Amino acid sequence: MKPRWAVFLLLIAAIVVLALLPMLVNNYWLRIATGALMWAGLACSWNMLGGYAGYINFGHSAFFGLGAYVTALLMGDRLAWPFFATLPAGIVVTALFAIIIGAPTLRLRGAYFAIATWAFAEVLIQFASVMDFTGGIGGIGLPPFLDERFFYFAMFGAAALTYLITWALFERSRFGLKVKALRDHEPAAEAIGINTSLVKLQTFVLSAVTASVFGAIFAYWVTFINPKSVFGGDITDQMVVMVLLGGLGSLWGPALGGVALFVVNRIIWMYWGDTAFYIAILGAAIVLVVLFLPNGIAGMFSRRVAKSGAVLDKAVGNLVGGGPGRPS
């Protein structure tokens, strides 16, 4: 069987299993599956800019949080919007923020861009912590809706759409060629007519609004959010490690890394409770991936990038200011 057909059949099988999952498992495992789908989608959204364009964004949680807060505020007692009406509102607000933040920061590269985006997320944490309308540091509640199947299918739909868009735009269209070209050599990309500033901004906005949709579903799912729970830097950190583990700049890598790390997270939680042990595992995972699995899990199955780790080199090299980003 040709590899392409094998991948296609595997994909169909995965979709069928995921679609039937609510009938196969209890609510506890369904919640874990819902979380895994959310992280797979979030990691993919981070990978759009970090993996395909080579811009390491350490403030991606800002957009997850914006989506969450817009939904929480609009669904509150005063406005009482239906959940699905809040999604486009969150997308519009996030897109506006992404344009305002992206236009100046995307002129920066490497560590400067990473620091600027991290600072943006920190600003939003502080803002949400001191303003009354966001509920301050105490947070904000949403009307409870206790149907686990609804949230599972919402996350499943959002994740499926995220991967479909990523595949169509970054793997199968000339837009993807432009994005990857600017990642690999920005002056050369400009020299073949690519408006790199515009393409970077488009990628940044797409990446941001995708994260905001997951933030919106998350807020409705957990029924209560506060600044730390949706803007916190550890949310971005997890996305970064998931993508590195799965395979930077690959389509399926973020899904593999997202599911793997989230399941590890839940297993640790089951046995040891809410412990900092998970953070230690994240740190160790970064070191091990950089040293021994530079193309991530996905790279082990890819013929073209199997031995090089070049995308990681490019991204980390950019981050630390040129040169190889990884010991040879």
Partner 1 sequence: MSAAEGKTAGTGEPILVVRELHCHFGGIKAVNGVSLDVGRREIAGLIGPNGSGKSTLFNLISGTVTPDRGQIRFDGHEIGGRKAHAIARLGLARTFQIPAMFDNMSVTENLLAAAAEGHWQGARERAADTLALLKLEHVADNRASDLSGGQQKLLEFGRVVMRQASLILLDEVTAGVHPNIRKIIVEAIARLRERGTTVLVIEHDMEMVRNVCDRIIVMDAGRVVATGPFNNIVRNSEVMQTYLGRPQ
Please count the other Cβ atoms lying within 10 Å of the Cβ belonging to residue 10: 10
Cβ atoms of residues 58 and 115 within 8 Å: yes
Per-residue tokens: 194: 């690519």
Which residues between 157 and 186 bind partner 1 (CB under 8 A)? Answer: 174-175, 177-178, 180-181, 183-185
23 binds partner 1 (CB under 8 A): no
Residue number, 213 or 315, with CB nearest to partner 1? 315
316 binds partner 1 (CB under 8 A): no
311 binds partner 1 (CB under 8 A): yes
225, β-bridge pairs = 140
Residue number, 235 or 311, with CB nearest to partner 1? 311
Task: Select the residue interacting with partner 1 from 104, 144, 187, 323 (CB under 8 A).
Answer: 187
The helix/strand/coil state of 225 is strand
304 binds partner 1 (CB under 8 A): yes
Q: Output the smallest distance, CB 182 to partner 1, in A.
A: 9
The pattern of x and - marking residues 221 through 250 that bind partner 1 according to CB under 8 A reads ----------------------------x-
Please state, in angstroms and rounded to a whole number, the distance separating the CA atoms of residues 226 and 207. 23
Please name the residues in contact with 26: beta carbons below 8 A apart, sequence gap of 6 or more: none
Count residues contacting partner 1 (CB under 8 A)?
Answer: 26
Please count the other Cβ atoms lying within 10 Å of the Cβ belonging to residue 277: 14
323 binds partner 1 (CB under 8 A): no
Please state, in angstroms and rounded to a whole number, the distance separating the CA atoms of residues 74 and 263. 32
Q: Output the smallest distance, CB 40 to partner 1, in A.
A: 23
Please state, in angstroms and rounded to a whole number, the distance separating the CA atoms of residues 102 and 246. 26
- What is the distance in angstroms between the CA of the first residue and the CA of the last residue of the chain? 37
Which spans of this chain sit near partner 1 (rule: CB under 8 A)? 174-175, 177-178, 180-181, 183-185, 187-196, 249, 304-305, 308, 310-311, 314
